[in-house]
Amino acid sequence: MKRIGIFIALMIIASTVFAQRGRVTSALSYKETGELEKAWELIQEASDPNNEKAAKSIDWPRTYEVKGGILQEIYRMGKTGIVEQPLFKALDAYKKAIELDEAGRSEKSLAVALTFLQTDLTNNAITAFEQEKYDIALQCFEKFMEISNMPLINKTGAEVIDTAIIFNSGLSAFKAEDFSKAKDYFLKSAKYNYNSASSYHYAYQASQELGDSLKSVEILKDGFEKHPDSEILIVELINFYISSGKANDAIVYLDKAIEQNPENVTFYTAKGSSLEKMGKEDDAIEVYKQAVEMDENAFTPYYNLGVIFFNRGVSVMNEASQLPPSASKEYEEKFEEGKKQLKNALPYFEKAYELNNQEVAILESLRLIYYRLQMNDKYEEVSKKIQSVKAE
Mind listing the pLDDT tens digit for each residue in 294-308? 999 999 999 999 999
What are 55-59's contacts with CB under 8 Å, separation 24+? 55/20, 56/16, 56/17, 56/20, 56/21, 57/20, 57/21, 57/23, 57/24, 59/100
Specify the pLDDT at position 107.
Answer: 95
pLDDT for 326: 86
CATH number, span 298-392? 1.25.40
- How many C-beta atoms surround the C-beta of residue 373 within 10 A? 15
pLDDT of residue 20: 63
Q: In the chain, list all ranges with CATH 1.25.40.10.
A: 16-160
Give the separation between CA 303 and CA 126, rounded to whole angstroms.
Answer: 47
Instruction: Determine contact, residues 255/277, Cβ cutoff 8 Å.
Output: no
**CA–centroid distance for 280 within its chain:** 37
What Cα–Cα distance (Å) separates residue 65 from each residue in 73, 101, 327?
13, 10, 101
What is the reported pLDDT for 9? Answer: 46
Q: Give the integer Cα–Cα distance in Å for 227 and 171.
A: 20
pLDDT score recorded for residue 3: 54
Helix (H) or strand (E) run with residue 320 in it: helix 299-321
Instruction: Give the burial class of 346: count Cβ atoms within 10 A of its Cβ; 0-12 exposed, 13-18 middle, 19 or more buried.
Output: buried
d(CA 75, CA 84): 10
281 and 308 Cβ atoms separated by less than 8 Å: yes
pLDDT at 12: 41
C-alpha 268/C-alpha 288 separation (Å) is 7
Say if residues 316 and 340 touch (Cβ distance below 8 Å). no
CA 380 to chain centre: 52
Measuring CA to CA, which residue among 158, 153, 161 is closest to residue 117? 153
CATH T-level fold of 16-160: 1.25.40
- 264 with 258: CB under 8 angstroms? yes
pTM of the model: 0.78
Residues of the chain with pLDDT under 70: 1-20, 392
List the one residue out of 135, 150, 217, 144 whose CA is nearest residue 182. Answer: 135
Residues in contact with 149: Cβ distance below 8 Å, sequence separation at least 6, in sequence order: 159, 160
pLDDT of residue 17: 47
DSSP for residue 327: -
The rounded distance, in Å, linking the Cα atoms of 275 and 288 is: 10
Q: Residue 2's pLDDT is what?
A: 52
Nearest to 143 by CA among 170, 114, 167: 114
Cα–Cα distances in angstroms (integers) from residue 155 to residues 92, 111, 143, 150, in the given order? 20, 11, 18, 8
pLDDT of amino acid 56: 86
